Chains A and B, each alone.
Chain A
Amino acid sequence: GAGVSQSPSNKVTEKGKDVELRCDPISGHTALYWYRQSLGQGLEFLIYFQGNSAPDKSGLPSDRFSAERTGGSVSTLTIQRTQQEDSAVYLCASSLGGSNEQFFGPGTRLTVL
């Protein structure tokens, strides 16, 4: 079956602009996660959705970052007034409700000039 998909695969933007990143989880997966990976680093947790609600937003680095999920499926991560330190690969993952195993998408590489 289809895995987690993300779009765009690459995004180059200018400092100060807003960006939206999209994630389509595996069909039937109720849990959705956003992570980011900066150069040479491990993955850093950003936010977790169960259905359309986000019980854990503790990883969002600032109020410039927000995310929503609609219909228990697609999620959008929005970064406002982008900064150069936001440059990273943003990864989305999904899982069945009670499972610890998360399945990752290919990521969106964001470059802020």
Chain B
Amino acid sequence: DQQVKQNSPSLSVQEGRISILNCDYTNSMFDYFLWYKKYPAEGPTFLISISSIKDKNEDGRFTVFLNKSAKHLSLHIVPSQPGDSAVYFCAAKDTGRRALTFGSGTRLQVQP
């Protein structure tokens, strides 16, 4: 039973355009959401996060949107750069637990 789902295994966008990565969840007890970026042969790197009491968090080119009623979050990257090419994981934390539940990842390729 996948509690965090990333339904798009891959995404390709042109440099300078917007990248939108999507994530759906089923557990209403999740209270904190994170996005991680992963390059080959490296561990995931924290990118941006959002608490369930907010609906938007912005950090430079990266913005995360949370729609609690739809149990959906998205990561917007604008403008996209070739160095953004990586696998992006959505993760969520359950109230009262410290473990993160991860989606299966979306591979983003930004074409120069």
Indicate, yes or no, whether A interacts with B: yes
Bound-state CA distance A45–B42 (Å) is 18
Q: How far apart are the CA atoms of A47 and B1 in the complex, in Å?
A: 19
The CA-CA distance from A104 to B102 in the complex, in Å, is 14
**Least CB separation from A103: chain B residue:** B46
- Interface pair B99/A56, CB less than 8 Å apart: yes
Mark out the residues of chain B between 50 and 109 whose CB falls within 8 Å of any chain A CB in the assembled complex. Answer: 89, 91, 93, 97-105
Once the chains bind, are B102 and A59 in contact (CB under 8 Å)? no
Contact (Cβ within 8 A) B98 A56: yes
- Contact of B16 with A by CB under 8 A: no
Flag whether B4 is at the interface (Cβ < 8 A): yes
Q: Which of A63-113 contact B (CB under 8 A)?
A: 91, 93, 95, 100-107
Is the beta-carbon distance between B44 and A41 smaller than 8 angstroms?
A: no
Interface residues on B, range: 20 to 34
Residue A31 is within 8 A (CB to CB) of chain B in the complex = yes
Interface size class of A (residues with CB under 8 A): 20 to 34
| CB pair B99 A106 closer than 8 Å | no
**Cα–Cα distance between A59 and B99 once the two chains are bound (Å):** 9
A1 to chain B, nearest CB (A): 15
Contact present for A101 and B89 (CB under 8 Å): no
Q: A42-B89, A45-B99, A56-B97 known; A104 and B104 CB under 8 Å?
A: no
Contact residue among A41, A43, A101 (Cβ-Cβ distance under 8 Å from B49): A101
Listed in ascending order, the chain B residues whose CB lies under 8 Å from chain A are 4, 6, 32, 34, 36, 41-46, 49, 89, 91, 93, 97-105
- Using CB atoms and an 8 Å cutoff, list the residues of chain A in contact with chain B: 4, 31, 33, 35, 40-45, 48, 50, 56, 58-59, 91, 93, 95, 100-107
22 contacts between A and B (CB under 8 A): A4-B43, A33-B99, A42-B102, A42-B104, A43-B44, A43-B91, A43-B102, A45-B100, A45-B101, A56-B97, A56-B98, A91-B44, A100-B32, A100-B49, A100-B93, A101-B46, A102-B46, A102-B100, A103-B46, A104-B36, A104-B44, A106-B43
